[in-house]
Chain A
Amino acid sequence: MTSLSRDDVAKLAGLARIEMSDEELVALSNEFTVILDAVARVQEVASADVAATSHPLPLRNVFRPDVVVPSLSPADALSGAPAQEEQRFRVPQILGEE
């Protein structure tokens, strides 16, 4: 049986960029024990000789001619921005102080 501890879930939540309360972490950790048990069944039949399918269509690099077509205006592109400045998205600080 695979299980994920509260701290394991906290690490995953960090990777997924989701803040979580202690209560939520504990609840998810309990649920994952049951869910992982159920989904681990895939290992019963996934032997080495079976090829993996990532996609239902056998497609590779689909190309189209490189033609200029109308695109969004700056005003449209910025229409949903939480904050904007000088026709740009204004975002919180990404780099440190220096």
Chain B
Amino acid sequence: MIRNSASEMASKLANGEITSVALTQAHLDQISAVDKDVHAFLHVDTQGALAQAAAVDAKRKSGEKLSPLAGVPLALKDVMTQKGIPTTCGSKILEGWRPPYDSTVVANLKKNDIVILGKTNMDEFAMGSSTENSAYGPTHNPWDLTRIPGGSGGGSAASLAAFEAPLAIGTDTGGSIRQPAAVTGTVGVKPTYGGVSRYGLVAFSSSLDQAGPCARTVLDAALLHEAIAGHDPKDSTSINAPVPAVVAAAKSGNVKGMKIGVVKELNGDGYQKGVRNRFEESLELLAAAGAEIVEVSAPNFEYALAAYYLIAPSECSSNLARFDAMRYGLRVGDNDGASAESVMNLTREVGFGREVKRRIILGTYALSSGYYDAYYGSAQKVRTLITQDFNKAFEIADVLVSPTCPTTAFKIGEKANDPLAMYLNDIATIPVNMAGIGGMSLPSGVADEDGLPVGFQIMSPVMKDDRMYSVGAALEAALLTKWGAPLLSTIPALAGSK
């Protein structure tokens, strides 16, 4: 039951073959069985999930019209507030905090009767590419427990690959949905910036952050996308326009006559051989499905990583100023007579981890008087150049494609002491965030040399998210025909797995 896709589960719920309580219990059982090894979850809300499931079953029994994913369980990244449920962002500074309100994403999930199983592990405040920066210990990749599940949303992606949940919510600032999807053999989508509300998403870099769906199939991602997307008056950067028809696109999977642009700069040197092979093979399948493959050039993409590591730290140094030990969260050193400033200094020393401090200090420097123009100002100009590169490329092609990451999952600990090597993971995913467009990663097979999953990235213009779903569905269907079974059916079994 837990190995089905979310849409298969939804059909079985709709025709009365299973109940949401049974389905939710099966996932809770799987979490009990395997999460000691995977560590995808920081908090499992057993009572709340079963109560929500029972309520959906009751509604269904009474003949109420329900949404397509009603009763299907989901794992929520711990960066999203859910009323009364611990929300840590993977940080000690928020340990024990129970938010007094629901994020809009959570409100939308509840409105759609999607059952929330619990909160998933992540790099602290979403800063990282491996989930090793969580203050609560790393998540392990279900394909190989000695390897990273990507980051920052490694918990969400791992929960899907470990069959602990069929759906998950992630957030993507520089690749935090797509890179974990790539290295775990799952699907992850970063919608157009402003497509999904950021209200209640604890901010890291406000001009880049975007929440999106994680799933095991393209259609499941589309169904979840429609459930969470749409205009929200509580987020002033939310786009006031209809949600692109992503479910229809995922169902049709039609790419006949579509022009698919291969980004020359996001391939070649630095990309693992097995990654390149799977990418070429996917292009052939898309061509066979009727798409026209063209090459496009985006010369300024090579500066994207540098610009990102100025813009994101700058915004984070400002956003994380709210963790000041006054109204919520950790407070350290509040002895009689201690000043507020000393309490802040001590709390932030103890509450923040290494990478978060590194980025706050870097951002403080980049924004400081005398250096602003040279660093933050220049990075903003690069952002313009990257957007122009995308605009030109989208004049030639309907969507752009690349490998999602240069390599497959690396070993836990391998890059922990080399921040620059770690940052390189996101070289192909960052340009999308800089321009605010949509991006998807879906599995394109495993690398011959290590047997680990490889991701295929599709990028679509602002509010044309449906295009990446059409291409994703076409590729997924062609690969399924080639393999005879989904990629995740070949994942090694975890000890105790149901």
Contacts and interface: CB of A to CB of B under 8 A. Distances in A.
Contact of B419 (A35, A56, A76, A92): A35
A10 B64 CA distance: 61
A9 B360 CA distance: 11
B148 interface: no
Contact of A42 (B236, B317, B381, B462): B381
Interface of B, secondary structure class, is helix
Contact of B236 (A17, A62, A94): A62
Interface of A: 4, 9, 12-13, 15-20, 24, 28, 31-32, 34-35, 38-47, 50-57, 59, 62, 64, 72, 76-77, 79-83, 89, 91-94
A40 B306 contact: yes
A57 B100 contact: no
Interface of B: 97-101, 193-194, 207, 233, 236-237, 239, 300, 303, 305-307, 309-310, 317, 321, 324-331, 334, 337-346, 348-349, 352, 357-358, 360-362, 364-366, 368, 374-375, 377-385, 387, 419-420, 434-436, 462
Contact of A56 (B193, B305, B379): B193
B364 A15 contact: yes
A67 B83 CA distance: 24
A70 B31 CA distance: 37
A42 B193 contact: no
Contact of A17 (B341, B368, B379, B436): B341
Given A16-B317, A94-B339, A51 B384 contact: yes
Contacts of B306: 38-42
Given A16-B360, A43-B374, A79 B98 contact: yes
Nearest to A4: B365
Nearest to A57: B194
The 8 A-B pairs with the shortest beta carbon distances in the complex, nearest first, are A56-B436, A80-B328, A46-B378, A82-B331, A52-B380, A19-B349, A76-B100, A46-B381
B393 to A, nearest CB: 16
Interface of A, secondary structure class, is loop
Contacts of B387: 53, 56
A80 B328 CA distance: 5
B237 A28 contact: no
B361 A28 contact: yes
Contacts, number: 165
A59 B236 contact: yes
B362 A50 contact: no
Given A9-B361, A31-B419, A44-B303, A53 B384 contact: yes
Contacts of B317: 16
A47 B378 CA distance: 8
A15 B362 CA distance: 12
Given A57-B194, A57-B436, A80-B97, A19 B339 contact: no
B358 A50 contact: no
15 contacts: A9-B361, A17-B341, A18-B352, A18-B357, A32-B361, A32-B365, A38-B309, A42-B378, A45-B382, A46-B382, A47-B381, A50-B381, A56-B434, A62-B236, A93-B338
A62 B237 CA distance: 8
A35 B345 contact: no
Given A43-B374, A44-B303, A57 B239 contact: yes
B379 A34 contact: no
A52 B431 CA distance: 16
Contacts of B379: 39, 42, 46
A93 B339 contact: yes
A39 to B, nearest CB: 5
A31 B358 contact: yes
B349 A82 contact: no
Nearest to B356: A18
A60 to B, nearest CB: 10
Contact of A12 (B334, B343, B361): B361
A48 B385 CA distance: 13
Given A17-B348, A56-B387, A57-B436, 10 more contacts: A17-B341, A17-B345, A35-B309, A40-B306, A42-B375, A45-B300, A56-B193, A62-B236, A80-B99, A92-B342
